[in-house]
């Protein structure tokens, strides 16, 4: 596969898999949790509450790891390593809002609502036993 095809495969996986695993660092150890992800090309965003441990962890250490994809029907997935930052861009927050988030936040204007912006530094596409580095 050429680089454009690999990049499109990654975008397809992100399009089809909005729930994945976000790992942050807590006391020098990884801490993983399921999160909903949104994207603009390969730029990932995840909704969270400002008062969560993950926000504290990212403020101390912005290095994160994300796994997206893989289920009983599809063995493809991506592993993305990158830097996370906390953003409060109102336009992006409205774009990323999903009613499934109401157990944690009141809506897109909730003052506790913020986004994790995850800027990829390294992406691997894993297909069965094969790994392909995208960036």
Per-residue pLDDT tens for 9-26? 888 888 888 899 999 999
Is 53 strand, coil or helix?
helix
Q: What is the pLDDT of residue 1?
A: 60
Question: Is residue 32 within 8 Å of 22, Cβ to Cβ?
Answer: yes
Q: What is the pLDDT of residue 115?
A: 96
Q: Which CATH superfamily is domain 3-133 in?
A: Electron Transport, Fmn-binding Protein; Chain A (2.30.110.10)
Residue ranges covered by each domain of the chain: 3-133
Q: How far apart are CA 116 and CA 48, in angstroms?
A: 7
Q: How far apart are CA 26 and CA 3, in angstroms?
A: 34
Q: What is the pLDDT of residue 122?
A: 93
Q: Please indicate whether residue 135 or residue 10 has the higher confidence score (pLDDT).
A: 10
Question: Is residue 120 within 8 Å of 82, Cβ to Cβ?
Answer: yes
Per-residue pLDDT tens for 102-130? 998 999 999 999 999 999 999 998 887 67
């Amino acid at each position: 596969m050429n680089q454009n095809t690999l990049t499109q495969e990654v975008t397809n996986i992100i399009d089809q898999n909005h729930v994945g695993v976000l790992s942050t660092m807590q006391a020098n150890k990884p801490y993983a949790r399921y999160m909903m992800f949104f994207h603009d090309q390969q730029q990932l965003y995840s909704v969270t509450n400002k008062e969560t441990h993950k926000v504290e962890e990212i403020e101390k250490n912005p290095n994160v790891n994300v796994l997206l994809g893989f289920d009983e029907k599809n063995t493809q997935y991506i592993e993305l390593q990158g830097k996370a930052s906390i953003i409060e861009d109102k336009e992006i927050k409205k774009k990323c809002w999903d009613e499934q988030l109401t157990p944690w936040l009141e809506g897109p204007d909730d003052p506790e609502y913020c986004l994790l912006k995850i800027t990829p530094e390294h992406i691997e596409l894993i297909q069965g036993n094969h790994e392909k580095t995208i960036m």
